[in-house]
């Protein structure tokens, strides 16, 4: 397993290009199952999670061809020949559950392994299943798999009242409803930009959908969907992550492709912490306003609130702030695993359940640390950029799931960072 070595240093300056969104691509790819016509995605990120989703779709009989070094995914599923999404692939990536809705809508049956939990929480899929049942699906859970069948005439439009604005459950329900007979209304739907991106792609394929980005989405089922070519939306989590690099180190960095409307709540917190964000014709320019970062309190919420996927990275910044910050993680039950690793670098953090109290220190110190999950891994790199001395982040396979070319992007703005073989 590779490690990343980071040597803390001075300010960072230059430009970082932001890739297409992993969490948009992971729901756009299963959408190919809804149509026999080709679906092509451009601006796709080059990540191990995308490779895993490619393997999964190919195991179902879909064709997925990676072009232009992975930035274009040409897909077609005119010939599905296997209704089963096997555990050995699903266990590697929870987003695999997103093939369930499209397969059920397209073929009327699907057998999908339950994804199981992951490091940050149990992450059940009950809301996905309830949504599909509201469209007439008959679900039988046995042997660790969901055995799903649509009614004889196919899925029927229905009303879904989500107890929680689940991103994945909203995505599964929207995709399934595009081919259901009649109208489906999703109440308390998730509002994330990745869902807006999915709807724009489905609409290009011929779907009739309204309300994306709001809490109520209405889908009028159609008999069939066509093909499309769709550009994956910019990754707001990669964007927010790299905005924190000049924030924690000083200097000025322009994030190419960045847009404020993707991360409004996050930018408000940066402003309160003493970081300036300026819109340019190429993206967003980020720099410290003056002097030390100020402590701010953060509570993670569904979009448009502060994203849980930026909580670990924000904690790294606040470890160096003047004052005490309180971070509340309201989305996942175990998403502070980066805290003990940051404390190895001299951070002062007190974790009580879903609340972490961070008292800023003048200087973090480099240390050997271990990545525990995707976003924790990059928070340790951010801390290492500001720390005195060398930080060695082990188990960076977590990083490869969600960040392409981290070493190249950060060294491109002056960071002293390299990837080394083995732990």
Q: Known catalytic residues? A: 118
94/106 with CB nearer ligand EPZ? 94
d(CA 26, CA 49): 8
Task: Please say whether the beta carbons of 212 and 234 come within 8 A.
Answer: no
288 binds ligand EPZ per the rule CB under 6 A: no
Tokens 């020949």 correspond to what residue?
A: 81
Contact stretch for ligand EPZ (CB under 6 A) within 118-126, 250-258, 269-277, 383-391:
118-126
Residue 170 CA to chain centroid, in angstroms? 14
Task: Please say whether the beta carbons of 379 and 319 come within 8 A.
Answer: no
Residue ranges in 249-278 that form contacts with ligand EPZ under rule CB under 6 A? none
Contact stretch for ligand EPZ (CB under 6 A) within 5-13, 121-129, 198-206, 392-400:
121-129
Contact stretch for ligand EPZ (CB under 6 A) within 65-73, 116-124, 153-161, 255-263:
116-124
Both structure tokens of 170 = 């909203």
Residues in CB range of 88: below 8 A, 6 or more apart: none
Residue ranges in 347-376 that form contacts with ligand EPZ under rule CB under 6 A? 374-375
Query: For residue 85, what are the β-bridge partners?
Result: 112
Torsion angles phi and psi, residue 318, rounded to 5: -70, -15
**Least separation in angstroms between CB 126 and ligand EPZ:** 5
234/414 with CB nearer ligand EPZ? 234
Q: Which string of x and - marks every residue 290-319 that binds ligand EPZ (by CB under 6 A)?
A: ------------------xx----------
Q: Where are the alpha helices (DSSP H) in 60-159?
A: 87-90, 100-107, 126-133
d(CA 357, CA 342): 13
Task: Please say whether the beta carbons of 192 and 22 come within 8 A.
Answer: no
Stated as kind and residue range, the H or E segment containing 211 is none
Contact stretch for ligand EPZ (CB under 6 A) within 61-69, 120-128, 145-153, 320-328:
120-128
67: helix, coil or strand? strand
Among 65, 67, 78, 124, binds ligand EPZ (CB under 6 A): 124
Contact stretch for ligand EPZ (CB under 6 A) within 125-133, 196-204, 282-290, 414-422:
125-133
CB atoms within 10 A of CB 292: 14
Among 65, 78, 82, 126, binds ligand EPZ (CB under 6 A): 126
332 binds ligand EPZ per the rule CB under 6 A: yes
d(CA 336, CA 151): 43
- In SS3 terms, 236-284 reads as HHHHHHHHHHHHHHCEEEEEECCCHHHCHHHHHHHHHHCEEEEECCCEE
Both structure tokens of 308 = 């849980």
Tokens 């980071």 correspond to what residue?
A: 6
201/293 with CB nearer ligand EPZ? 201
162/286 with CB nearer ligand EPZ? 162
**Least separation in angstroms between CB 366 and ligand EPZ:** 25
d(CA 154, CA 258): 41
221: helix, coil or strand? coil
> Quick one: which of 39, 43, 61, 64 has its CA closest to 225?
39
Number of residues that bind ligand EPZ (CB under 6 A): 24
117 binds ligand EPZ per the rule CB under 6 A: no
Among 10, 121, 144, 323, binds ligand EPZ (CB under 6 A): 121
**Least separation in angstroms between CB 287 and ligand EPZ:** 27
Tokens 């005439």 correspond to what residue?
A: 153
Contact stretch for ligand EPZ (CB under 6 A) within 18-26, 66-74, 102-110, 249-257:
18-26
Q: Which string of x and - marks every residue 130-169 that binds ligand EPZ (by CB under 6 A)?
A: ----------------------------------x-xxxx
> Quick one: which of 230, 190, 231 has its CA closest to 211?
190
Whole-angstrom Cα Rg for the chain = 22
75/331 with CB nearer ligand EPZ? 331
Q: Which string of x and - marks every residue 166-195 that binds ligand EPZ (by CB under 6 A)?
A: xxxx--------------------------
**Least separation in angstroms between CB 173 and ligand EPZ:** 11
**Least separation in angstroms between CB 124 and ligand EPZ:** 4
Among 8, 240, 246, 402, binds ligand EPZ (CB under 6 A): 402
Q: Which string of x and - marks every residue 92-111 that binds ligand EPZ (by CB under 6 A)?
A: --xx----------------
Task: Please say whether the beta carbons of 412 and 16 come within 8 A.
Answer: yes
Binding site for ligand EPZ (CB under 6 A): 22-23, 26, 94-95, 121, 123-128, 164, 166-169, 308-309, 331-332, 374-375, 402
């Amino acid at each position: 397993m590779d490690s990343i070595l980071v040597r803390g240093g001075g300010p960072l300056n230059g430009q970082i290009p932001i890739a297409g969104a992993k969490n948009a691509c992971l729901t756009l790819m299963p959408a190919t199952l809804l149509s026999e016509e080709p679906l092509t995605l451009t601006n796709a990120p080059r990540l191990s999670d995308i490779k895993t989703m490619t393997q999964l779709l190919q195991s179902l009989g879909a064709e997925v061809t990676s072009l232009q070094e992975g930035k274009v995914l040409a897909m077609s599923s005119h010939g599905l020949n296997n209704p089963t999404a096997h555990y050995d692939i699903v266990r590697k990536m929870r987003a695999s559950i997103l093939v369930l809705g499209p397969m059920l809508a397209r073929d009327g049956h699907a057998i999908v392994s339950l994804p199981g939990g992951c490091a940050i929480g149990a992450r059940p899929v009950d809301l996905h299943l309830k949504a599909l049942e509201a469209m007439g699906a008959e679900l039988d859970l046995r042997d660790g798999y969901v055995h799903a069948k649509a009614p004889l005439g196919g899925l029927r439009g229905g009303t879904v009242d989500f107890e929680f604005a689940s991103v994945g459950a909203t995505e599964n329900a929207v995709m399934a409803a595009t081919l259901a007979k009649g109208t489906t209304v999703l109440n308390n739907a998730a509002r994330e930009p990745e869902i807006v991106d999915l709807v724009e792609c489905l609409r290009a394929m011929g779907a009739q959908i309204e309300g994306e980005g709001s809490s109520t989405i209405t889908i009028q089922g159609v008999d069939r969907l066509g093909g499309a070519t769709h550009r994956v939306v910019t990754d707001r989590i990669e964007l927010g992550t790299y905005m924190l690099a000049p924030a924690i180190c000083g200097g000025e960095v322009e994030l190419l492709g960045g847009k404020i409307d993707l991360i409004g709540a996050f930018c408000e917190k940066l402003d309160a912490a003493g970081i300036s964000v300026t819109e340019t014709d190429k993206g967003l320019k980020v720099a410290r306003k003056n002097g030390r970062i100020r402590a701010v309190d953060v509570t993670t919420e569904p979009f448009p609130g502060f994203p849980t996927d930026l909580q670990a990275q924000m904690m790294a910044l606040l470890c160096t702030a003047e004052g005490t910050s309180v971070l509340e993680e309201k989305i996942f039950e175990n998403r502070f695993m980066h805290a003990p690793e940051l404390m190895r670098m001299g951070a002062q953090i007190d974790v009580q359940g879903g609340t972490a109290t961070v008292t800023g220190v003048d200087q973090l110190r480099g240390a050997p640390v271990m990545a525990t999950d995707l976003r924790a891994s990059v928070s340790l790199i951010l801390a290492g950029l500001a720390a005195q001395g060398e930080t060695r982040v082990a188990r960076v396979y977590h990083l490869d799931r969600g960040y392409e070319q981290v070493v190249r992007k950060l060294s491109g703005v002056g960071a002293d960072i390299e990837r080394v073989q083995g732990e």
